[in-house]
Structure 1
């Protein structure tokens, strides 16, 4: 049902009826009303544009559809709880900060006094972490940042208040510098982000580029700009990067939290389990007593047949999106293998499921099996094995050593599969020994490798007759294997007719393109023939020697 009232009236009516404590605050009234349960679930849900008829599409088209799984998301309880907490933090943080009010002016005055006194943003014995700030800590790949970004998407990036001639920034989302380069790197990131949002702004040049600005001076400039543009919620992502700070992560965190405390801006810190040490004991205790605490996001765990868990529901929904021609139902064995190889990490499970489908399309089996899932995990996700093993063993100490458990980008897996698919379509794999062009193409390839024309023709015919199922790729391998077998050479002259003698290694050096030169040197150097051919520059790619 559509509202006929203008948005401003709807918001004012909502505040008057349900949130009277925010009535009259222009910063809160400018925000859209909090989302209903239905609209929140709709905003967080993202499913591929799927139809069972797509299973009959070409392999390349199905590969493209599999790629749409990279943004797949099923909202769970933890996702909705996080969004509710963020909405509360945003609105509560605007209390007492309306423009042209004593509270707003007092913040500017506090920044100015610190500047005159040469003071830094540092906590004292009488100061504490703002009670409306919190941290979201947990395994990477569980959807923390994705959930925050989708919640932020329902808010306007910037709101202009003509009566005050001011731009309001409801949410400012920045990442901690990868090298944890003290508060200065974070200040630069904040200024650059604000420059992107505010039309005509040039705060980075104003505060960061003029002379050699110290960290304390720079942070005061950032605080002034954030207060000027009424930042409602500061989201600091990748907090674990502060562990790399040369200045000391606790010092950097203290400066940041103290500045936000003075500004009365709530902060959401997002990071992996490694970030827990960076946040410090004092912050964690304050967070627990604030009422805004968010429980750490751990992996999903399987339930039982009578009481399915969120993992079971998630996997059941994900399993519906099969683009293989022979889809299979999710049974206990497949479910067990999916959990064992992903350990309940959402992002890893999605990419394992997608990569398994790509493999099934590539090898022509066109179906998902437990063995296939295990093979894909073993071959394509090797970098993740130590991290998954740490999860499987509940080795938290080892797990904290890994900054990120997210697997390789799904697009990389699909692009590699697409390249293999294109290669399978090439004559190297499609031309069989029964094809009339097989022997001539193979002979031409052997000649390009330095084999004489007569011998190449004979060898190509032999491979074609003895290997009827061979293609050009396997044919060239069989021919190379036959050539690498040591052949006795009958000497002439003093050694006597028919007597076999050893041929010197350098016998063929005067013929640099003769493959027998590589064979002789390989035997003398105790290396493979292929290695010697590569060293001599005589091992081109198959695509270059076979007439495609």
Structure 2
């Protein structure tokens, strides 16, 4: 018989308040983490295992640190002296640059508040004699309990992160979630082992409907639980009606204690063929389970998705991801940081005219700013005559690679203009990626050609050394000896045959053990006697 489980009693981690109980665990490379509990800051949350197993939220200082990812290996003095072919693909480092944006603090707070509220409005029911059959990490196991909604609590609210393409929504979401384990495993003496899925990220598919969305939720559950063959996606797809699919999702939310479902790229859903009651059913899921729902996408998609206030308000706080784009003072800070990474022959200072040109051509959108700065460097290095890097050069480069985009910048709230701008940016980014790939391969091809010439010159010497050593050491294959010779060549290619033979033999006898034979030899192999070693070394 199912019983309601009240406040839990467990051992707390003996660490200072605010410290991360999962310190040192890389959540991106760990499928599950065992629950570690810390005292909740709010007294009424004490004993709520689903809240007290969460790591602490980031502080303001940690947000500024974690959302800033500079290019640590960059050094202008070194890279400006590299050959053009090498510099061309070094420009690609800008793709990994991340900078803190004004909406990041609000995003962190909204996520945490919605997540805690989700677990605050639910309670666990369990029966140690009747077990649910669940699949975790490709293995079927029994589970005694599940997390259900407190019907008397208010409807849970999530959040919405809205903004134009390229303003940093998806990359910010990845950094946000890196603070949290996706699946926490709880252990109970009476009810055994059971998972808590903290969050699911569901990537909306282009031109999809809500049947596809529910199937994507199943797929996200499969991935979170380490299931390599689809189990829960197929389970949802097997239900015929949309209502049945929603009901199955409800069961899975309760079974796996899912805290939040994040719908990314919500604008890809086909709104014309999706009925309003589909969105209402999504909100009904929130009301029945108290799971938090968050949406990430463009502003026009949000208005189409939630035409009624009663539906839209369920998603709580609306975060504007591109509000910072209108802040010219902040753009100056942003542009100077991006422009500080440059691969010109001489360092170029960013003037006020250049700053204005960058803003006119990007409207402060971070992804577009990085893309334009990459083109400034690529075109400069590729030019037969080095151009003068100034405001005119910035405008010319923008017109070449982002043709027609300036006309669209002043009306970003127009969904049609935003779609046109997005197409221009996508085409420019695709061309940029192709250029970087081309330059990277061309530079590596030069290295292959150079190494091939060097190998051809050293080949006779390598053959002689292999023959010398195998005359007295037939326990080592030619391939093994060649590997050691190549290691020696890495530091010294100007070496004579006798010295090279001595160095390789010393390496083999002191650091390597002979390789086992694949098949027994009829003739007894020669062993390396002291006299033979003396002969080689002398």
TM-score (norm 2): 0.65
Q: SS of 1:324's equivalent?
A: coil
Q: Deviations over 1:450-509 (max 9, x none)?
A: xxxxxxxxxxxxxxxxxxxxxxxxxxxxxxxxxxxxxxxxxxxxxxxxxxxxxxxxxxxx
Q: SS of 1:56's equivalent?
A: coil
Task: Please report how far the alpha carbon of residue 174 of structure 1 lies from its aligned counterpart in structure 2 after TM superposition.
Answer: 0.5
Task: Please report how far the alpha carbon of residue 233 of structure 1 lies from its aligned counterpart in structure 2 after TM superposition.
Answer: 1.0
Q: Call closer, same or farther: CA 1:41–1:408 in 2, change over 3 Å.
A: farther
Distance in 1 between the 2:103 and 2:274 partners? 34
Bigger Rg, structure 1 or 2: 1
Superposition map of 1:295-444 within 5 A: 295=320, 297-298=322-323, 300-301=325-326, 303=328, 309-364=329-384, 365=386, 368-382=389-403, 385-386=404-405, 388-392=406-410, 396=414, 398-399=416-417, 401-402=419-420, 404=422, 406-408=425-427, 410=429, 412-416=431-435, 419=438
Q: Call closer, same or farther: CA 1:167–1:278 in 2, change over 3 Å.
A: same
Distance in 2 between the 1:221 and 1:95 partners? 23
Q: Call closer, same or farther: CA 1:424–1:85 in 2, change over 3 Å.
A: closer
Task: Please report how far the alpha carbon of residue 243 of structure 1 lies from its aligned counterpart in structure 2 after TM superposition.
Answer: 4.0
Q: Call closer, same or farther: CA 1:21–1:67 in 2, change over 3 Å.
A: farther
Task: Please report how far the alpha carbon of residue 311 of structure 1 lies from its aligned counterpart in structure 2 after TM superposition.
Answer: 0.8
Task: Please report how far the alpha carbon of residue 413 of structure 1 lies from its aligned counterpart in structure 2 after TM superposition.
Answer: 1.2
Task: Please report how far the alpha carbon of residue 37 of structure 1 lies from its aligned counterpart in structure 2 after TM superposition.
Answer: 1.7
Task: Please report how far the alpha carbon of residue 190 of structure 1 lies from its aligned counterpart in structure 2 after TM superposition.
Answer: 0.7
Distance in 1 between the 2:22 and 2:344 partners? 51
**Which runs of no fewer than 5 residues in structure 2 stay unpaired?**
1-13, 24-35, 128-144, 446-538
Counterpart for residue 266 of structure 2: 239
Counterpart for residue 486 of structure 1: none
Q: SS of 2:161's equivalent?
A: strand
Superposition map of 1:458-473 within 5 A: none
Counterpart for residue 455 of structure 1: none
If asked which structure has higher relative contact order (CA below 8 Å, sep 6+), I would say 2
Q: SS of 1:300's equivalent?
A: helix
Counterpart for residue 92 of structure 2: 67
Q: Which of 206, 213, 223 in structure 2 is aligned with 1:186? A: 213
Counterpart for residue 201 of structure 2: 173
Q: Which of 37, 61, 73 in structure 2 is aligned with 1:38? A: 61
Counterpart for residue 523 of structure 1: none
Q: Call closer, same or farther: CA 1:78–1:100 in 2, change over 3 Å.
A: same
Task: Please report how far the alpha carbon of residue 281 of structure 1 lies from its aligned counterpart in structure 2 after TM superposition.
Answer: 3.9
Distance in 1 between the 2:39 and 2:426 partners? 43
TM-score (norm 1): 0.64
Contact 1:167-1:229 at 8 Å conserved across structures = yes
Contact 1:357-1:368 at 8 Å conserved across structures = no
Task: Please report how far the alpha carbon of residue 402 of structure 1 lies from its aligned counterpart in structure 2 after TM superposition.
Answer: 4.6
Distance in 1 between the 2:421 and 2:349 partners? 35
Task: Please report how far the alpha carbon of residue 328 of structure 1 lies from its aligned counterpart in structure 2 after TM superposition.
Answer: 0.8
Counterpart for residue 303 of structure 2: 277
Q: SS of 2:336's equivalent?
A: helix
- Which has the larger share of strand? 2
Distance in 2 between the 1:173 and 1:423 partners? 38
Q: Call closer, same or farther: CA 1:213–1:7 in 2, change over 3 Å.
A: same
Counterpart for residue 449 of structure 2: none
**Which runs of no fewer than 5 residues in structure 1 stay unpaired?**
111-126, 304-308, 427-548
Distance in 2 between the 1:109 and 1:313 partners? 47
Counterpart for residue 491 of structure 2: none
Distance in 2 between the 1:418 and 1:244 partners? 37
Counterpart for residue 250 of structure 2: 223
Q: Deviations over 1:486-545 (max 9, x none)?
A: xxxxxxxxxxxxxxxxxxxxxxxxxxxxxxxxxxxxxxxxxxxxxxxxxxxxxxxxxxxx
Q: Call closer, same or farther: CA 1:205–1:391 in 2, change over 3 Å.
A: closer
Work out whether 1:56 is the aligned partner of 2:81: yes
Task: Please report how far the alpha carbon of residue 106 of structure 1 lies from its aligned counterpart in structure 2 after TM superposition.
Answer: 8.1
Counterpart for residue 235 of structure 2: 207
Distance in 2 between the 1:302 and 1:251 partners? 39
Q: Which of 112, 115, 136 in structure 2 is aligned with 1:90? A: 115
Counterpart for residue 542 of structure 1: none
Q: Call closer, same or farther: CA 1:326–1:188 in 2, change over 3 Å.
A: same
Distance in 1 between the 2:310 and 2:355 partners? 36
Contact 1:131-1:286 at 8 Å conserved across structures = no
The number of aligned residues is 394
Q: Call closer, same or farther: CA 1:277–1:302 in 2, change over 3 Å.
A: closer
Distance in 2 between the 1:392 and 1:424 partners? 40
- Across the aligned residues of Structure 1 and Structure 2, the Cα RMSD in angstroms comes to 3.6
Task: Please report how far the alpha carbon of residue 403 of structure 1 lies from its aligned counterpart in structure 2 after TM superposition.
Answer: 8.5
Q: Which of 285, 292, 302 in structure 2 is aligned with 1:259? A: 285
Q: Deviations over 1:139-186 (max 9, x none)?
A: 1111111111110011112111122421111110112221132x1100
Counterpart for residue 49 of structure 2: 26
Distance in 2 between the 1:272 and 1:150 partners? 20
Contact 2:236-2:245 at 8 Å conserved across structures = yes
Q: Call closer, same or farther: CA 1:361–1:367 in 2, change over 3 Å.
A: farther
Q: SS of 2:273's equivalent?
A: coil
Superposition map of 1:460-499 within 5 A: none
Task: Please report how far the alpha carbon of residue 230 of structure 1 lies from its aligned counterpart in structure 2 after TM superposition.
Answer: 0.9
- Which has the larger share of helix? 1
Q: Deviations over 1:80-102 (max 9, x none)?
A: 21111111111121113243379
Counterpart for residue 121 of structure 1: none
Q: Call closer, same or farther: CA 1:214–1:62 in 2, change over 3 Å.
A: same
Distance in 2 between the 1:316 and 1:379 partners? 23
Work out whether 1:294 is the aligned partner of 2:326: no
